[in-house]
Amino acid sequence: MIIIDSHCHLDSKELNQDLDNIIQRAADNNIKYMQTICTKISEFDNIHKIAIKYKNIFCSVGTHPNYVSEEKFHDMSEIIKLSKLEKVIGIGETGLDYYYDYAPKDLQKKNFNEHIKASQETDLPVIIHTREAANDTIAILKENLAIKPFPALIHCFTEDKDFAKKILDLGLYISMSGIVTFKNAEKIRTALSYIPIDRLIVETDSPYLAPVPYRGKINQPAYTKNTLEFIANFLDIKIEKLAEETTNNFFTLFKKANV
């Protein structure tokens, strides 16, 4: 059985200080591949070095919406240049976050659009963070898809069934994190019931959002298996089947991750 953690932050201090053991623990739990995600392009070099060092780790390049005020603005050409490096398979994470007031909405939108343009030129998927910004996220996606198609996924899905339907109608993928295991996540589980298996991917977003039974502890890629088990039980399918499907989906979406 092969499981992929499509979204983790291995450069975080919580994981990076014990990275060899973190990666071994993941392997012991059938997590064969991981994508470590860039949230600040100023820190991309460190993230890329992790991907280069470990054969089974890929990475992305991008600026998270919460950091667009403090980071230098990178246009599509700069993002594209970095995306051509070895082991870089995704653009982001990018998107919109209106929950926190860390950056002006206009600047977030400008940043999001530049990442989408980079995806349109490279065909690398956009890894989208959206929080309290569903309507603007959909509007920007529709506007850009009408100009030129691009692959993308909503990472760490926290919205409702209506939002899931809109994302799926646009031809995009949805990634579930450990949040789906939380007691108060009924809205997310309702959406999960609606998502076709061939459009579903799993992640940890570690070191954050550890699934039950590790909730409140430091998350790590090994716990992708717990989320996958929960989803398999919820959907009443075998975990081996779900692992196969989500792994295939990952490689279908992240085409540069050829192994």
| CATH assignment of the domain containing 231 | 3.20.20.140
Q: Which helix (H) or strand (E) holds 58?
A: strand 57-61
The count of domains in the chain is: 1
- Cis check: omega of the bond before 221, within 30 degrees of 0: no
Does residue 235 lie within any of the structural domains?
A: yes
Phi then psi dihedrals of residue 66, to 5 deg: -70, -15
- Local confidence band at 259 (pLDDT 50, 70, 90 cut-offs): low
Does residue 194 lie within any of the structural domains?
A: yes
Average pLDDT over residues 11-18: 95
Does residue 26 lie within any of the structural domains?
A: yes
Does residue 166 lie within any of the structural domains?
A: yes
Does residue 193 lie within any of the structural domains?
A: yes
Does residue 173 lie within any of the structural domains?
A: yes
Does residue 258 lie within any of the structural domains?
A: no
Q: Does the pLDDT of residue 101 top 90, yes or no?
A: no
What's the domain range around 210? Answer: 3-253
Average pLDDT over residues 200-213: 98
- Local confidence band at 243 (pLDDT 50, 70, 90 cut-offs): very high
Does residue 157 lie within any of the structural domains?
A: yes
For CA atoms 248, 92, 47, 159, give the dihedral sign. negative
